[in-house]
Structures are given as structure tokens and as C-alpha cells.
Amino acid sequence: MATFQAPKGTYDLIPPYSAKYLAVREAISGPLRKSGYGYIETPGFEDVDLFARGVGESTDIVTKEMYTLTTKGGANLALRPEGTASVLRAALEANLHKAGGLPVKLWYSGSYYRYERPQKGRYRHFSQVGAEAIGSEDPALDAELIILADQAYRSLGLRNFRILLNSLGDAECRPVYREALQGFLRGLDLDEETLRRAEINPLRVLDDKRESVQKQLVGAPMLRDYLCEACKAYHSEVRELITAAGVVFEDDEKLVRGLDYYTRTTFEFVHDGLGSQSAVGGGGRYDGLSEMIGGPALPSVGWALGVDRTVLALEAEGVELDIPPATSVFAIALSDEARKVLFGAVTELRKTGVAADFSYGSKGLKSHMKNANRSGARFTVVAGERDLAEGVVQLKDMESGEQDAVALADLVATVRARLA
């Protein structure tokens, strides 16, 4: 018989390990939910042109990494490689920018797909938690997002991450810089593909990891020297606000992100324990994206943190998340009659909010006890015919090892009292 495996570059999340992923999503979204961000969910696929126009025709994501498909109806779709274009599309479609005050603040959590060469920390299916603040040009908003991401990582116990910060300028100053950089790059001894990249997206060349290229880049014009007054003032206010919040960052003039929509503030969260896939999260301002996808001018800013890489970063630091056991009470029946009674008791416990599980199947006490131990339950409830004849069940505290007989009628109240 043929057996199937998860497709290349993907992996399954399986208990108990999967609980880490839930905890990470919870920790990242927590600060957002407490800061006025509303939850948004969009489809897993979109019109392919949304990403081509939004993320950028010349980016690796669009040219090489998209999973595209043509439906039976002839629509050209792509599995979403990122969340920002989708979220902005949805906000525009629902007229959120007209409905209430700006900015529209949204957070999301989901699966993303990129046809990349798989390696540790780089997968073809991965998950992000992200935030977008749409329709407002205010450095405090950029600062808020950076501070909230920092807070999320710290709440998880992560310490060895760094925040890299840059400004990419705006529609006024970046074209001037772009031209200056192109002039410089044309004079270098570069291979054909890099020269081509210099014509389409010269800033990406600054990001080239090869030493032979980096050597030649010494003395290249730097964007910092070309920023217009408005961009400079904006950037210095972002820096001031996050500094005042006690968030430590590094200025990185070479930080260029892999998506074309960025303007002004850009940042990346990197972790040094991850090898080459060191970016655990990233984001920035995208003041022109709305117009690029057919909307009105809506200056916006956001980020996405990678859940997979955050889990790897936690492991690299040896951080053990404090994940409480999912089950509080495990009930084990020793006779047919006890099965009915204890199954009823489990249902009652669950109704009152106590997490409870039951000894399913007809295995012996020993194997049921094993399951009870594995569940991490604080209490076990065991009952056989003799107990029921006396109207009691045996309640055992798995922490102290103490056991006593409790009247069946008092079980729910007793358990709740002891758990409290």
C-alpha cells in the first residue's frame, strides 16, 4: 500500500509540540488585541494580479515563488505568499477606510505559501501573525507596531533578537537615490544577472550576500544621504519614540526588504541562533500600496512575524514555554455501570468549564492510568461497582498522591473547589 508524506518543504504540527505554536500565536496577537487591532481573516488565495501589482513584478516572491493556478472557470489565482496585499484589498473592498476613523487597525494569523528552496527555517508552507495599520501617516503608529512586536517577543521569554531599522525614503527622494545608485552599479564588474537586477531593483543589489559583490559596494551612495527633509524628520521621530519606550534597535542602512511596496520606515527582527534564515519577522510602511492596487491614497504600516521561526528561536535559546496541561480531570471507569456514571460526570464537569477527559475503550486500569498520566490531569476520578454501590468515586490528586472517596453527588463541586 502506498503511504503518503507531507509535501516537500512542509511539515505537520502534531501534539504535544503543536501547543507551542498556539502559545506563540497567542503571545504575538495578545499585545495587538489590547491595542485596538481587530481580527481579520481573508481567503487563502487571491487574484494573482493583486500580488503581482502589490508585492512587485520584479520580486523573487512574484517571479519565482508563487503557487499559481487557473480555476475551471478560468480565473488566475495564487496561494497567498504574504498577508499585506490581501488585508489591504479586503479593507478597501469593505470600505473600512470610510466607515470609521483612521487608522484602520487589523491583525491576522494564518498560513502562507512560497515555492522556496526548503531548508531549516524556510518552508513552502509557513505561518505568520501580522498587523496592519491602514490610512494614517503618523510616526507614533510605526513606533507602536515595533514596540508591540518587541513586547510580544519578550513576553515569550525571547531575548537574543535584534531589531534592524532603516528608512527607504518616499516617492520624492527615493527615485533620485535610485538613479545615483544605478549610476554607481553600472561602473562595477558584476555578472549579468546582478546587472539586470541593478536596472530593475538596484536597492536589492545592496543586499547581495556574496563577498565579491559586497567588496565592490564599498563607497556606494547611501540612501541616508539622499533622504528628503520630510523623510528625515519622520524617521527621527520614529527612532525617538521607540527609544523612549526602551526598545533597543540598530540602524541598518543596508536593510532592503524582499517586497517592493515599502516606503520610509522598514524594520526586521533577526535572531542570531537561526543560521541563514535569521529574520523572525519584518515589516514597514507602505504608503503607496493602496494606489498600486487601485485604491485611494492610504499611507499604512504593518509587520508580520513568522510563527515557525519564532518557535525555532525559542528552541535555540532553550526557552521552555509555560504551557498548562489541557486536561484537569481524567475519569477512569472500572465497570459498565461506572462508564455511564463517569461519562455523565465528565460531561457535567465540562459544562462547568473544567477540562475533563475519559477512559475510552475497554482497556485495563493500567493502560487507562497511563493515558491519565499522559494527559497531565491534576486529578483522576476512578470508580468501580463497589464505589457506585456506596455512592462514591475515588478522587486522586496526582500532584500530592492523596486519594479520598467523594460522594458522587459532590464530585463537580469538590473538584472545582480543589482546582481553585
Nearer to ligand HAM (CB atom), residue 263 or residue 371: 263
Provide the 8-state DSSP code for 122.
B
In the sheet where 356-358 sits, what is the strand order? 356-358, 329-333, 379-383, 392-397, 403-407
Task: Single out the residue of 159, 163, 161, 152 nearest to residue 23, CA to CA.
Answer: 152
What cell numbers appear for 66 in the block? 508563487
Q: Is 132 annotated as a binding residue?
A: yes
Nearer to ligand HAM (CB atom), residue 131 or residue 406: 131
31, 54, 56, 83: which one binds ligand HAM (CB under 6 A)? 83
Note whether 153 binds ligand HAM by CB under 6 A. Answer: no
Q: What's the CA gap between 258 and 47, in Å, rounded? A: 20
Q: What's the CA gap between 131 and 140, in Å, rounded? A: 15
Q: What's the CA gap between 69 and 90, in Å, rounded? A: 21
Note whether 308 binds ligand HAM by CB under 6 A. Answer: yes
Q: What's the CA gap between 169 and 184, in Å, rounded? A: 19
Q: Which residue is nearest to ligand HAM (CB)?
A: 306
Q: What's the CA gap between 260 and 85, in Å, rounded? A: 11
Nearer to ligand HAM (CB atom), residue 103 or residue 406: 103
- Report, in angstroms and rounded to the nearest whole number, the Rg of the chain calculated over CA atoms: 27
Q: How many residues contact ligand HAM, by CB under 6 A?
A: 26
Nearer to ligand HAM (CB atom), residue 159 or residue 374: 159
**Least Å from the CB of residue 179 to ligand HAM:** 26
**Least Å from the CB of residue 289 to ligand HAM:** 9
Nearer to ligand HAM (CB atom), residue 284 or residue 299: 284
Q: Is 240 annotated as a binding residue?
A: no
Q: How would DSSP label each residue in 362-400?
A: S--HHHHHHHHHHHT-SEEEEE-HHHHHTTEEEEEETTT
90, 122, 157, 249: which one binds ligand HAM (CB under 6 A)? 122
Q: What's the CA gap between 109 and 126, in Å, rounded? A: 11
Cβ–Cβ under 8 Å, residues 352 and 189 = no
Q: Is 65 annotated as a binding residue?
A: no
Note whether 304 binds ligand HAM by CB under 6 A. Answer: yes
**Least Å from the CB of residue 257 to ligand HAM:** 6
**What x/- string results for residues 219 through 258 when contact with ligand HAM is judged by CB under 6 A?**
---------------------------------------x
**Least Å from the CB of residue 262 to ligand HAM:** 7
42, 128, 151, 371: which one binds ligand HAM (CB under 6 A)? 128
Contact set with ligand HAM (CB under 6 A): 82-84, 114, 116, 122-123, 126, 128, 130, 132, 258-259, 279-284, 286, 302-304, 306, 308-309
